[in-house]
Amino acid sequence: MENLFTRRSNASDIFHAIRKAPGISQREIVLQTGFDKSTVSSIIGAFHDADLVEEVERPAQNRRGRPSKGLRVSQASGILVGVRIEADEVRFVGSALDGKPRFRRACRFDGSVDDMQRIFVREIDAIASDPAAGSPLLAVGVSVPGLLRADGVLVHLPVLGWRDVALLDRLASAVKAPVFVGNDGKAGAMAERMFGAGKDGGDFIYLFSGSGVGGAMVLDGQVYAGADGLAGELGHIKIVPQGRFCSCGASGCLSAYLSEPALCEEIGRLSGDRPEDFATLRARAEAGDPSTLTVLESAGDVLGTAVSSLMNIFNPNMVLLGGDLSLARPWIEAPMMRALQRLAHPAMAERTGIRFSELSAQSPFLGGVALALDGVTGRTATNETARMAGEADNEEA
Amino acid sequence: MENLFTRRSNASDIFHAIRKAPGISQREIVLQTGFDKSTVSSIIGAFHDADLVEEVERPAQNRRGRPSKGLRVSQASGILVGVRIEADEVRFVGSALDGKPRFRRACRFDGSVDDMQRIFVREIDAIASDPAAGSPLLAVGVSVPGLLRADGVLVHLPVLGWRDVALLDRLASAVKAPVFVGNDGKAGAMAERMFGAGKDGGDFIYLFSGSGVGGAMVLDGQVYAGADGLAGELGHIKIVPQGRFCSCGASGCLSAYLSEPALCEEIGRLSGDRPEDFATLRARAEAGDPSTLTVLESAGDVLGTAVSSLMNIFNPNMVLLGGDLSLARPWIEAPMMRALQRLAHPAMAERTGIRFSELSAQSPFLGGVALALDGVTGRTATNETARMAGEADNEEA
């Protein structure tokens, strides 16, 4: 009954078991994951061939024992690049297989698809040919704050007004490295599952705010994709009937009350002085500005309303709040908890731990790295052909 | 990697493959389900031993061929009983393994747990000892309109004011048949997956209205349970901030606008003449009563708002509307579709088929039968011990 999908998912579990416990033995991996010995052995073989893992000496377990071999993630096997497309910048993060950032770059662009692609190709080519960046370049993961279909077509990216862009085709055909693309909510949840609050396993709901509000559901250990890969648009749950207009085209969405532009706009209307971005907003909150505190209080209430709906729908172990929601914790947590007490069923509220992402503050752009790493482990285990320029060229030749 | 959970789920798929295509061969089942030959053969063996399936002659496939053996659901192997606990009645439906209802009974009760249990025991004992009902009694499935935890504890049943009732323990220890209990939304979705609009497979979201509003999510082929088995409380998505009080204790829930009591109450306030139940309400709508039509128009809008949120969360292939929602289709469909056009993302709306349950009108109480059948096939395949009086007695003896 093992299919490609299961094998990809098992590969990811096995890789992260090794990443989290350097020196782990194959036998321990079998016990920990519950997978067949043959499955574990075959996937680790593929990882070895691709140089993703390496052997390491384990100290003897007891006095009479001999040192044995364990596994760890390869220390010098190349880099992953995470890319994030934002309203006016394209950001790049380089990381080794352990997920720890090694370098960061941000490049402004003019908001067009062509300019984004030009910058993407320039930077990825530069990274790939720079020995100091760490080589080889294993994979590139690109996260976008918009509706991205499973076939790699960007259906709608509100902050840039893009519609129906063949994103994967355009990027993957332009560079000589495997490219993986994903919605930023799903990529963020994947990063939390690999490196953050979700790493101990278990289902959770991820909700974050930035230029918009997004999220993802990790159900039965996997990011739930839905029919076309579009599931998880938690920022577009309807909160207020006939409410504020939203960048998605509808009205009354959570995002229209909780995104960075929505909060800044509301503070501007109240005070006559619109903060230019979330950093300014936060500085004002720290200084005790009354309009800012009023708006954040109300945002916490709206957030609690949305989270109570999510609890009643999913009965999750954890709701994880990331991005600006995590940074605004000092001001939104109390009103959110009051709304939850009023609106969530007590049996649901009792179960669900509400957590604020620490990854959001420390490593805010790891989503792309998570996409790249998930792509590499999955591809290695299944011998899938990723879409990249080199391979396409060969086929055409 | 096969575990008990997977085996239960595979058993269900195999049983229904046989049920839907009488005469199917083992080879065809392997091809259709994609499961291992050994898995299919072992589960069918268990079904044979339990007399759930039987062999049947298949006509020769071609002129030179000989007749071969196929499988079908046993024609005389016993009955399943579905039970539904409602505000003032306990309803019983008897069915053979094919899911077709054979008899129905409804017994009024005084609303106490003790009286419900007394009636349950009396009726189940009567059915079990009545050869005309069809014997043996294979299993009993009990569906309840409330929060039921995976351990069989009824956390809250709003229409009856019950809290923390050890429902499974009480019922299973009182009769000599395996008893399975479930929330009515999940049971209804299971029935739709076995016998109704969900039978061709694929994920769907089920939403229904009756004394309350409930639902379930069928994700990756399974009813999603959440951490404690409480997931799927789609009637308690928040629709209106600071809105109407709901029987769950919160305010602004979908159920407070769309349940039978909510609709009747609102018509009563408008017209001064509260319809006593949904049948009366429907008769008035058919007669063109303006207050009733106004309330149903507004209910359709509220429903569309909730469905747009569900589409944006799940990107489902299908949203299936059951119970009163199905019966009210002539009046709520148009306003619902207008709300969806306004509120759902076009890419989501394009994917999701909105369907009205036919099972709701024809066989409204099959949820309990679905629970019983799921319990029997799962238990047979895994050799699990169901909880029933006979076995408990033996252990004590």
The verdict on B83 and B68 lying in the same domain is: no
More confident residue, A80 or A3: A80
From the list A225, A237, A342, which residue is nearest B309 (CB)?
A: A237
Query: Among positive and negative, which fits the CA dihedral B93, B96, B97, B99?
Result: negative
Q: Mind telling me how many Å the CA of A35 is from chain B's nearest CA? A: 5
Read off the pLDDT band of B189 (50, 70, 90). Answer: very high
Size of interface A-B (CB pairs under 8 A): 162
Measured distance CA(B204)–CA(B183) in Å, rounded: 17
B53-70 pLDDT, tens digit each: 999 988 766 666 666 789
A203·B226 Cβ contact <8 A = yes
From the list A1, A228, A238, which residue is nearest B305 (CB)?
A: A238
Residues comprising chain A, all counted: 397
Measured distance CA(B116)–CA(B139) in Å, rounded: 18
CATH code at A260? 3.30.420.40
The confidence score (pLDDT) of residue B206 equals 97
A249·B309 Cβ contact <8 A = no
B273-286 pLDDT, tens digit each: 999 999 999 999 99
More confident residue, A83 or A365: A83
Among the ranges given (A212-216, B334-338, B360-364), the one the predictor scored with the smallest mean pLDDT:
B360-364
- Residue A387, in any domain of the structure: no
Q: Mind telling me how many Å the CA of B284 is from chain A's nearest CA? A: 28
A149-159 pLDDT, tens digit each: 999 999 999 98
From the list B1, B3, B230, which residue is nearest A347 (CB)?
A: B230
A191-206 pLDDT, tens digit each: 999 989 998 888 999 9
Measured distance CA(A62)–CA(A69) in Å, rounded: 15
Q: Mind telling me how many Å the CA of B342 is from chain A's nearest CA? A: 6
A347·B156 Cβ contact <8 A = yes
B342·A231 Cβ contact <8 A = no
Interface test with A, best of B242, B309, B311 (most A CBs within 10 A): B309
Percent of chain B with pLDDT over 90: 71
Cβ contacts of B241 on chain A, cutoff 8 Å: 239-240, 302, 305
- C-alpha dist (Å) from residue B314 to A188, A360, B199, B245, B355: 18, 25, 19, 27, 16
From the list B10, B312, B346, which residue is nearest A237 (CB)?
A: B312
- Residue B380, in any domain of the structure: yes
A1·B39 Cβ contact <8 A = yes
- Residue A383, in any domain of the structure: no
The confidence score (pLDDT) of residue A353 equals 96
A309-344 pLDDT, tens digit each: 999 999 999 999 999 999 999 999 999 999 999 999
B123-174 pLDDT, tens digit each: 999 999 988 777 789 999 999 999 999 999 999 999 899 999 999 999 999 9
The verdict on A238 and A332 lying in the same domain is: yes
Cβ contacts of A240 on chain B, cutoff 8 Å: 241
Interface test with B, best of A14, A345, A354 (most B CBs within 10 A): A345
Measured distance CA(B103)–CA(B324) in Å, rounded: 23
Q: Mind telling me how many Å the CA of B224 is from chain A's nearest CA? A: 8
B248·A309 Cβ contact <8 A = no
From the list B2, B230, B345, which residue is nearest A147 (CB)?
A: B345
Asked if the model's pLDDT at residue B245 lies above 90, the reply is: yes
Burial class (CB in 10 A: 0-12, 13-18, 19+), B92: buried
Nearest Cα to B20, choosing from B61, B79, B95, B70?
B70
| Residues B181, B139 contacting (CB under 8 angstroms) | no
The confidence score (pLDDT) of residue B393 equals 37
The residue segments making up the domain with residue B56 are: 4-73
Q: Would strands B222-223 and B179-183 be described as parallel, antiparallel, or unpaired? A: unpaired
Q: Mind telling me how many Å the CA of B351 is from chain A's nearest CA? A: 8
A230·B315 Cβ contact <8 A = yes
Task: Respond yes or no on whether ipTM tops 0.85.
Answer: yes
B344·A249 Cβ contact <8 A = no
Asked if the model's pLDDT at residue A1 lies above 80, the reply is: no
Cβ contacts of B250 on chain A, cutoff 8 Å: 308, 342-345
The verdict on B41 and B150 lying in the same domain is: no
The verdict on A208 and A289 lying in the same domain is: yes
The three-point CA angle A379-A41-A73 to 5° equals 60
* Residue where a domain stops, chosen among B24, B47, B73: B73
Asked if the model's pLDDT at residue B252 lies above 80, the reply is: yes
Asked if the model's pLDDT at residue A107 lies above 70, the reply is: yes
Among the ranges given (A27-36, B109-118, B241-250), the one the predictor scored with the smallest mean pLDDT:
A27-36
Q: Mind telling me how many Å the CA of B385 is from chain A's nearest CA? A: 24
A313·B345 Cβ contact <8 A = no
Measured distance CA(A305)–CA(A312) in Å, rounded: 11
A237·B345 Cβ contact <8 A = no
Q: Mind telling me how many Å the CA of A168 is from chain B's nearest CA? A: 18
Asked if the model's pLDDT at residue B6 lies above 80, the reply is: no
Asked if the model's pLDDT at residue A133 lies above 80, the reply is: no
Read off the pLDDT band of A60 (50, 70, 90). Answer: low
The token pair that represents B327 in the structure block: 């019966």
Cβ contacts of A305 on chain B, cutoff 8 Å: 238, 241, 252
- Residue B227, in any domain of the structure: yes
Nearest Cα to A149, choosing from A170, A131, A165, A129?
A165
Read off the pLDDT band of A62 (50, 70, 90). Answer: low
Non-local (6+) Cβ contacts of B258 within 8 A are B209, B213, B235, B299, B302, B303, B306, B325
> Per-residue pLDDT averaged across B377-391, rounded?
62
Q: Across all residues in chain B, what is the average pLDDT?
A: 90
| Residues B134, B78 contacting (CB under 8 angstroms) | yes
A3·B34 Cβ contact <8 A = yes
The verdict on A350 and A373 lying in the same domain is: no
Asked if the model's pLDDT at residue A121 lies above 80, the reply is: yes
Beta bridge partners of B204: B218, B318
Number of domains in chain B: 3
The three-point CA angle A38-A43-A45 to 5° equals 95
The verdict on A235 and A323 lying in the same domain is: yes
| Residues A345, B250 contacting (CB under 8 angstroms) | yes
The confidence score (pLDDT) of residue B58 equals 80
A305·B238 Cβ contact <8 A = yes
Non-local (6+) Cβ contacts of B286 within 8 A are none
Asked if the model's pLDDT at residue A391 lies above 50, the reply is: no
Read off the pLDDT band of B271 (50, 70, 90). Answer: very high
- Residue B392, in any domain of the structure: yes
Cβ contacts of B227 on chain A, cutoff 8 Å: 203, 315-317, 351-352
Q: Which residue of B has its CA nearest to A229?
A: B315
The confidence score (pLDDT) of residue B315 equals 97
B164-175 pLDDT, tens digit each: 999 999 999 999
* Residue where a domain stops, chosen among B38, B73, B108: B73
The confidence score (pLDDT) of residue B120 equals 97
From the list B226, B306, B346, which residue is nearest A316 (CB)?
A: B226
Interface test with B, best of A309, A310, A317, A319 (most B CBs within 10 A): A309
Measured distance CA(B315)–CA(B202) in Å, rounded: 12
The confidence score (pLDDT) of residue A187 equals 95
User: In a 3-state reduction of DSSP, which class is residue A95?
Assistant: strand
The verdict on A154 and A19 lying in the same domain is: no
Query: Among positive and negative, which fits the CA dihedral A333, A337, A343, A344?
Result: positive
Burial class (CB in 10 A: 0-12, 13-18, 19+), A348: buried
The confidence score (pLDDT) of residue B394 equals 37
Asked if the model's pLDDT at residue A235 lies above 50, the reply is: yes
Q: Which residue of B has its CA nearest to A340?
A: B250
Read off the pLDDT band of B395 (50, 70, 90). Answer: very low
Asked if the model's pLDDT at residue B195 lies above 60, the reply is: yes
The confidence score (pLDDT) of residue A395 equals 36
| Residues B376, B178 contacting (CB under 8 angstroms) | yes
Non-local (6+) Cβ contacts of A344 within 8 A are A307, A308, A311, A312, A352, B250
> Per-residue pLDDT averaged across B364-393, rounded?
72
The confidence score (pLDDT) of residue B7 equals 82
Q: Which residue of A has its CA nearest to B39?
A: A1
- Residue B193, in any domain of the structure: no
> Per-residue pLDDT averaged across B87-99, rounded?
91
Read off the pLDDT band of A219 (50, 70, 90). Answer: very high
A226·B305 Cβ contact <8 A = no
- Residue B194, in any domain of the structure: no
The confidence score (pLDDT) of residue A61 equals 65
B315-352 pLDDT, tens digit each: 999 999 999 999 999 999 999 999 999 999 999 999 99
Read off the pLDDT band of A65 (50, 70, 90). Answer: low
The verdict on A68 and A137 lying in the same domain is: no
> Per-residue pLDDT averaged across A20-29, rounded?
91
The verdict on B214 and B327 lying in the same domain is: yes
B32-59 pLDDT, tens digit each: 888 889 889 999 998 888 888 999 988 7
Kindly write down the DSSP assignment for every residue of B115-133, as one continuous string.
HHHHHHHHHHHHHHT-GGG
The confidence score (pLDDT) of residue A97 equals 87
Cβ contacts of A185 on chain B, cutoff 8 Å: none
Q: Which residue of A has its CA nearest to B302?
A: A241
Asked if the model's pLDDT at residue B9 lies above 90, the reply is: no
Asked if the model's pLDDT at residue B267 lies above 90, the reply is: yes
The confidence score (pLDDT) of residue B390 equals 37
The confidence score (pLDDT) of residue A380 equals 81
- Residue B323, in any domain of the structure: yes
Residue A106: count of CB within 10 angstroms of its CB: 13
CATH code at A59? 1.10.10.10
Cβ contacts of B249 on chain A, cutoff 8 Å: 345-346
> Per-residue pLDDT averaged across A231-247, rounded?
96
Percent of chain A with pLDDT over 90: 71
The verdict on B239 and B324 lying in the same domain is: yes
B309·A236 Cβ contact <8 A = yes
A226·B345 Cβ contact <8 A = no
The confidence score (pLDDT) of residue B63 equals 64
B35·A1 Cβ contact <8 A = yes
The verdict on A184 and A290 lying in the same domain is: no
Run of H or E residues at A10 = helix A4-20
* Residue where a domain stops, chosen among A73, A104, A125: A73
A231·B315 Cβ contact <8 A = yes
Cβ contacts of A4 on chain B, cutoff 8 Å: none
A228·B315 Cβ contact <8 A = yes
The confidence score (pLDDT) of residue A63 equals 64
A231·B309 Cβ contact <8 A = no
Determine the residue type at A289. Answer: D
The verdict on A103 and A163 lying in the same domain is: yes
